[in-house]
Amino acid sequence: MTTYALKTPYLVFLGDAEDLLMAKVAKGIAYWRPEKCLAQMRLENAKADLNLPDMSIREAAEAGAKTFILGLAPTGGTLPQQWIPLLIEAMEAGMDIASGLHVHLNDIDDLVMVAKRTGRRLLDVRTPPQTLKCGNGRPRSGKRLLTVGSDCCVGKMFTALAIHKEMEKRNISATFRATGQTGILIEGAGVPVDAVISDFTAGSVEQLCPANDQHHWDIIEGQGSLFHPAYAGVSLGLLHGAQADVIILCHEVGRTQMDDLEGYPVLDFDSLIKTNLELGGLTKPNIRLGGIALNTSMLNEQQALTEIAYYQNKYKVPVVDPVRTGVAAIVDELEK
């Protein structure tokens, strides 16, 4: 696991994002670490809004901003060339740059030269640890919970963070284990599993969640879906490395198609649950379903409660919407 010491407060860059899905990194940081966010910076055509003060680089620097965070997750993790002068301006104004893109800032000569000249840091959090090992599947002590998804962007990180926060409120020994760029920027530590060479994916998660006290919970952020044609490999390696005692299935109500991929429908819950439990059983034979987390944002209050009640009656596990209902019911079940 790599730890990142990000200086605060942050200027969160939204670029030209049309919505908060494009700026999901920024959205996650602003929601879970609002005390660290000084302001947002948006380009002229941006429609996404975190409800933070809008500031230019100069204004944010004068107000004390210490880190310029690239808050976008563009497809393929690319860095538009027109953003590079902004990053240079931010460093020259006294800010470090933090990025979760697949393209590493430290591989761009112009940025490296300015960083050396100004003494600023280029923090690429989508960089796997230097020492990687293959997974061994050996049983290890401690308790682990993994969020799994029906698709991408359905609430796996949000659910994991909400469960961790609820456990902290109850003084339950627990650690949030980040596996994606947003989670790492929120927590300040983790392993970006989608940047790990496939042979080492399971092993990197074993290292992220090592043996622990028998009463300690590791709450592991899930990635992708076992049924997503592009990202299933990441999801499977994460599932095997986690050796989760409990999985929480996450789903956005109303989504019928995989990540806008025509011809790949979102599967029914029976198939999602059965497959995750069967494949997870390779390294954790007694793995079980501990709950279902629904994103019901497309429904009104009564419709959402009806949907929650339906799945709870069908699967006999706690069913929640982490935003509408909180996750106390899931933690209640884990404490039994």
Q: What is the pLDDT of residue 35?
A: 96
Residue 89 sits in the same domain as residue 187:
no
Q: What is the pLDDT of residue 76?
A: 57
Residue 133 within a domain: no
- The C-alpha angle with vertex 147 and arms to 146 and 148, in degrees rounded to 5, equals 115
CA distance 266 to 45: 33
pLDDT digits (tens), the chain, 336 positions: 778 889 999 999 999 888 888 888 999 999 999 999 999 999 988 899 999 999 999 999 999 999 999 998 766 567 888 999 999 999 999 999 999 888 999 999 999 999 999 999 999 999 988 888 999 999 999 999 999 999 999 999 999 999 999 999 999 999 999 999 999 999 999 999 999 999 999 999 999 999 999 999 999 999 999 999 999 999 999 999 999 999 999 999 999 999 878 899 999 999 999 999 999 999 999 999 999 999 999 999 999 999 999 999 999 999 999 999 999 999 999 998
- Spell out the residues 6+ positions from residue 202 whose beta carbon is closer than 8 angstroms to its own: 134, 135, 137, 237, 238, 240, 241, 283
- Which tens digits make up the pLDDT trace of 207-243? 999 999 999 999 999 999 999 999 999 999 999 999 9
pTM for the full predicted model = 0.93
The single-letter code of the amino acid at 256 is T
Residue 84 sits in the same domain as residue 149:
no
Range of the domain at 119: 2-124
Residue 62 sits in the same domain as residue 157:
no
CA distance 290 to 128: 30
Q: What is the pLDDT of residue 198?
A: 94
- In the chain, the number of structural domains is 2
Residue 116 sits in the same domain as residue 167:
no
Spacing of C-alpha 154 from chain mean position: 11
Q: What CATH number is associated with residue 60?
A: 3.40.50.720
Strand extents, DSSP E, the chain: 2-3, 10-15, 37-42, 67-70, 96-99, 122-124, 143-149, 174-177, 189-190, 217-220, 246-252, 288-295, 319-320
Q: What CATH number is associated with residue 219?
A: 3.40.50.300
Residue 234 within a domain: yes
Q: What is the pLDDT of residue 77?
A: 60
Residue 155 sits in the same domain as residue 264:
yes
Residue 118 sits in the same domain as residue 218:
no
Residue 300 sits in the same domain as residue 217:
yes
Residue 93 sits in the same domain as residue 148:
no
Length reported for the chain: 336
